Amino acid sequence: DTEVTQTPKHLVMGMTNKKSLKCEQHMGHRAMYWYKQKAKKPPELMFVYSYEKLSINESVPSRFSPECPNSSLLNLHLHALQPEDSALYLCASSPMPAKDNQPQHFGDGTRLSIL
């Protein structure tokens, strides 16, 4: 069982809809991440939060809006998405943001389909 919980597991939305992806961890980790993964590709980093503050935005389009309400929760708000945004969205966390020997723990992802 994963220690990072993502909801929903599947999401189908139209291009004009607004929806949110949620991620939760209770391991006391202070860094949280959003990744996008296309089929048969490695995950691509989108955002990093360190101590609940956005520290990295990998030039992600503004139709993706992250939010970190507290140290356990991470949201990704979606609005006016395009068909090419269909992918698996993975959340991850790690104990400390900049330490290189601490692995990231991944959730099972939300599979997003844009109609």
Partner 1 sequence: GDSVTQMEGPVTLSEEAFLTINCTYTATGYPSLFWYVQYPGEGLQLLLKATKADDKGSNKGFEATYRKETTSFHLEKGSVQVSDSAVYFCALHQAGTALIFGKGTTLSVSS
Amino acid at 25: Q
Task: Kindly state the tokens that stand for 36.
Answer: 């996008």
Binding segment for partner 1 (CB under 8 A), chosen from 13-21, 35-43, 60-68, 77-85, is 35-43
Contact between 108 and partner 1 per CB under 8 A: yes
Q: Which residues pair with 37 in a beta bridge?
A: 88
> Which CB, 66 or 107, lies closer to partner 1?
107
Residue numbers 86-105 binding partner 1 by CB under 8 A: 90, 92, 98-101, 103-105
Figure out which of the listed residues 45, 60, 73, 80 binds partner 1, where binding follows CB under 8 A.
45
Nearest to 34 by CA among 6, 13, 2: 6
Q: Which residues pair with 87 in a beta bridge?
A: 112
